[in-house]
């Protein structure tokens, strides 16, 4: 099956190249060839081909066509030099070095039994709050998001910890699933988000300022989730019944000790990492190194750092980092060839002829990104489609920093929007058999509406995202 898929992919590339070579001189312009390239990447991804290598493959084929000269030997085509240069550019990018360190930090914390201690202590400390288990889940997800930007790890871990606890307590299945999937997706927006690093590298925007700008919107979104849960639990206690008194009736000194040994250490590590970045004391790479060392120390203190867990964390870090880096290489090559063929200029010219106001352009671009979140993942949207809008920001007078924060908030829909909705599949993989995918999808919908509300608030009040970076760096 795998060989058949790659054979089909190869056939798709060759056919595209032959058709383009036959049609370019007579019937279509180079700009239309660029649009054909863009259409093929969408088709290939929807067929299930690896995004990074699909980008590189189409970039190589169409780049060869763009650079081709009849007198030129095959291997002297400049596209081969471009491939090497783009790869070297990613390898020497200082910002990208922070990716494996942040990812390693997150995997270590996940495996050091820190999060399960934190969740247990928070659910006891918040037992008087309506929907306390759901609120504790969101709070834990928020803290875990500030320790790692890995959505899959957060949803999976909280699915193992929080979902059985909420179901045993009589919580509504849809509400429980929605809380876990929505809370787990906060890692896309809240620093140290890998998505923000990817956007910063793609758009040439400071990752430090992106982190500062995304902090308040991320916390705001988490608070909106909490408010929604509390209101629903207050209106209908059957959805989230209170915990039995004997399960949470502990001495105050014990509750304080539980929080001091779970909440405080992780919070101090997060403050040290994010605080040093936002305050300008350390670069994201240096702060990520501090976080990785701190995560190792926490794992040692909690006696969760075995050799097997360490080896697994290193392996997962290498796999995730390779995916991100090859995505950047493929994106850089694809974007360069797309612009060389004139596809970018063609799209820009078409959008400018619409005579849009900045508000209309912003609404159009975000609506397109939101709809793309249904069939595509956020990585594909960031590396393929967001670069199409970036050159137009200057024309419409839109701050790339604000656009990036809005995109980050918007792209959480990629994990909560059927039919892809990766968060739903992560949760389904660890949920009890009686929890259906349909129940998970239904549970996510109210939280998806809250995301749209948060986008509206950010659009109406841009200072939510711009105040902190401007106060610190201007």
Residue 470: exposure state from Cβ atoms within 10 A (0-12, 13-18, ≥19) = middle
28-43, pLDDT tens digit by residue?
A: 566 667 777 777 777 7
**159: its two tokens:** 């699915």
421-469, pLDDT tens digit by residue?
A: 778 888 888 888 888 888 998 999 999 889 889 989 998 999 999 999 9
The total of other beta-carbon atoms located within 10 Å of residue 24's CB is: 18
Tracing tokens 């995202």 back to the chain, one arrives at 465
What pLDDT sits at residue 223?
Answer: 94
**155: its two tokens:** 């949803």
Domain range list for the chain: 1-90, 95-305+405-473
**9: its two tokens:** 């992919």
Q: What percent of the chain has pLDDT over 70?
A: 90
**Are 424 and 444 in contact, with CB atoms under 8 Å apart?**
yes
What pLDDT sits at residue 464?
Answer: 92
Predicted TM-score of the model (pTM): 0.82
What pLDDT sits at residue 17?
Answer: 56
94-117, pLDDT tens digit by residue?
A: 777 888 888 888 888 877 777 777
Strand, helix or coil for residue 29: coil
What pLDDT sits at residue 172?
Answer: 92
**Least confident piece of the model among 171-175, 262-266, 292-296:** 262-266
160-218, pLDDT tens digit by residue?
A: 888 888 888 889 999 999 999 999 888 888 888 888 888 888 888 888 899 899 999 99
Strand, helix or coil for residue 25: coil
What pLDDT sits at residue 3?
Answer: 46
């Amino acid at each position: 099956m795998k060989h058949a898929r790659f054979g089909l992919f190869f056939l798709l590339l060759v056919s595209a190249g032959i058709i383009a070579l036959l049609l370019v001189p007579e019937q279509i312009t180079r700009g239309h060839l660029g649009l054909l390239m863009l259409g093929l990447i969408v088709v290939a991804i929807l067929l299930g081909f690896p995004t990074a290598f699909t980008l590189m493959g189409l970039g190589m084929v169409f780049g060869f066509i763009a650079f081709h000269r009849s007198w030129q030997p095959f291997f002297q085509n400049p596209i081969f030099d471009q491939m090497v240069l783009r790869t070297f550019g990613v390898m020497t990018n200082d910002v990208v070095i922070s990716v494996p360190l942040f990812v390693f930090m997150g995997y270590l914390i996940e495996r050091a039994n820190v999060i399960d201690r934190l969740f247990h202590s928070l659910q006891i400390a918040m037992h008087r709050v309506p929907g306390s288990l759901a609120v504790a889940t969101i709070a834990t997800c928020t803290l875990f998001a500030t320790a790692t930007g890995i959505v899959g790890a957060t949803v999976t871990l909280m699915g193992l910890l929080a979902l059985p606890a909420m179901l045993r307590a009589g919580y509504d299945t849809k509400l429980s699933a929605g809380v876990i999937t929505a809370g787990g997706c906060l890692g896309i927006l809240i620093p140290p988000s890998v998505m923000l690093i990817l956007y910063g590298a793609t758009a040439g925007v400071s990752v430090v300022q992106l982190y500062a700008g995304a902090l308040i919107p991320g916390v705001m979104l988490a608070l909106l989730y909490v408010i929604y849960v509390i209101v629903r639990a207050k209106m209908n206690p059957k959805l989230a019944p209170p915990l039995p008194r004997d399960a949470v009736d502990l001495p105050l000194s014990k509750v304080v000790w539980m929080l001091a040994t779970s909440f405080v250490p992780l919070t101090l590590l997060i403050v040290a990492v994010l605080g040093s970045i936002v305050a300008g004391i350390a670069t994201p790479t240096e702060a990520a190194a501090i976080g990785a060392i701190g995560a190792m120390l926490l794992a040692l203190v909690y006696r969760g750092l075995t050799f097997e867990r360490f080896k697994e964390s290193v392996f997962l870090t290498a796999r995730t980092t390779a995916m991100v880096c090859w995505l950047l290489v493929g994106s850089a090559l694809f974007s360069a060839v797309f612009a060389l063929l004139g596809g970018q200029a063609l799209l820009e010219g078409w959008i400018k002829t619409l005579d849009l106001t900045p508000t209309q352009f912003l609404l159009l671009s975000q609506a397109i990104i939101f709809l793309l979140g249904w069939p595509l993942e956020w990585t594909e949207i960031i590396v393929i489609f967001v670069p199409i809008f970036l050159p137009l920001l200057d024309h419409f007078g839109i701050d790339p920093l604000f656009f990036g924060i809005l995109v980050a908030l918007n792209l959480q829909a990629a994990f909560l929007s059927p039919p892809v909705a990766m968060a739903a599949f992560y949760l389904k993989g660890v949920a009890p058999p009686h929890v259906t995918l349909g129940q998970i999808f239904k549970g996510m919908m109210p939280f998806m509406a809250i995301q749209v509300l948060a986008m509206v608030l950010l659009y109406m009040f841009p200072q939510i995202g711009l105040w902190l970076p401007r106060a610190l760096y201007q």
